[in-house]
Amino acid sequence: MARKMDSKTFAAQKRKRRKMLTFMRMTRYGINSFTRNAWLSVAATAVMTVTLFFIFATVAAHGILSSTLNTLRDKVDISVYLKTDTPDSEATQIASGIKGLSTVKEVNYVSAEQARDNFISQNKDSAEIINATALATNEFPATLNVKVKDINNTKQLQDYVNHNATIQKDIDPNRQPTFSGPQSQSINTIGRALTLAQRIGVVASVIFATISVLIIFNTIRMAIFNRREEIQMMKLIGAEKSFIRGPFLVEAIVYGFIAAILASILAYGILYLISKPLTNYGVQVQPTLDFVTVYAGPVLLGMIIAGAIIGIVSSSLATRSYLKL
């Protein structure tokens, strides 16, 4: 019984060694094929590098634009104007009611006197404006500056302002709340630009991925054609299908591996290069830059996996079409 178990163990170890040897041979043949077709390999790697770069750029651009949009949203508030003679007690009561809404994040009350003082302080270098303001009666409205959680979702606030009896009694009839003012419109425009940029990036990535598949497909097809006699001989002596396909699969994965490294170096370099100029224009690059820096390892691994997937798909299509296995 012990001898029988030993023979089974020996046979299993032999099969394991044979599989390992086969794998090493396929890897060596694949790498040799990569270097043998130098110009085709360079073309395939270059196109895949561009593809992976566009994928990286699409994800990074989405992160940058999202951070910028969120920052702008945090800076936007909605102004609700009250009459100049509104008592502070009623204004405080209105502010408390608005603050209790689920979509409201913060409410800041500015009295008419404070609004007048702020105006004078902001225009202290203009003597004419200060003199005119000092002589005039106080016609500045009391203001409730409201920050909402989502600038694109102000329906609850609008309904409350339009139907609350206390607000309607004290609201300034000559100044409408800024629910849909220029700032809100700018935020909506940026949001639409974010969606458009994301879609363009996805389409560009798909296009270049398709081009990469086609070029690698043709590269593998040329390699199959150049080795057709060798492949035919393998078939005649009974070589396994996986052994014949293996080198071409390895070759395509090598394309993806090298392209992932090149695309990552290029993408990181450009991102670091443009970060300071974009930051000067108020674009929030730093959060995305910090993320890809901290997670550089997983990002590179993701790029390598994406390149390998593209290579595997194109190689599988080519071997299935031209090896007839």
Q: Give the chain's domain count.
A: 2
> 130 with 120: CB under 8 angstroms?
yes
pLDDT digits (tens, 9 = 90+) for 1-24: 444 456 667 566 766 776 676 667
Residue 3 lies in a domain: no
Confidence band of 268 (pLDDT split at 50, 70, 90): very high
Burial of 218 (0-12, 13-18, 19+ CB in 10 A): middle
Enter the DSSP assignment of 80. E
Report the CATH number that the domain containing residue 127 is assigned in CATH: 3.30.70.3040
Distance CA 101, CA 105 (A): 8
Does residue 99 sit in the same domain as residue 149? Answer: yes
3-state class (DSSP) for residue 249: helix
Distance CA 157, CA 237 (A): 79
**Nearest-10 Cα torsion for 186, 190, 195, 196:** 100
pLDDT digits (tens, 9 = 90+) for 165-221: 888 888 888 877 776 556 566 656 766 776 777 678 778 778 877 887 777 777 777
Does residue 55 sit in the same domain as residue 148? Answer: no
Residue 62 lies in a domain: yes
Residue 42 lies in a domain: yes
Q: Residue 70 pLDDT more than 50?
A: yes
Distance CA 78, CA 161 (A): 12
Does residue 197 sit in the same domain as residue 66? Answer: yes
Residue 77 lies in a domain: no
Phi-psi region of 282 (alpha: psi -120 to 50; beta: other; left: phi over 0): left
pTM of the model: 0.67
Residue type, 238: G
Q: Within 13 Å of residue 65, how many CA atoms lie on the same side as its CB?
A: 19
Structural domain including 101 reads 84-171
Does residue 56 sit in the same domain as residue 200? Answer: yes
> 107 with 191: CB under 8 angstroms?
no
Residue 163 lies in a domain: yes
Residue 6 lies in a domain: no
Q: Which of 40, 144, 24 is nearest to 94 (CA)?
A: 144
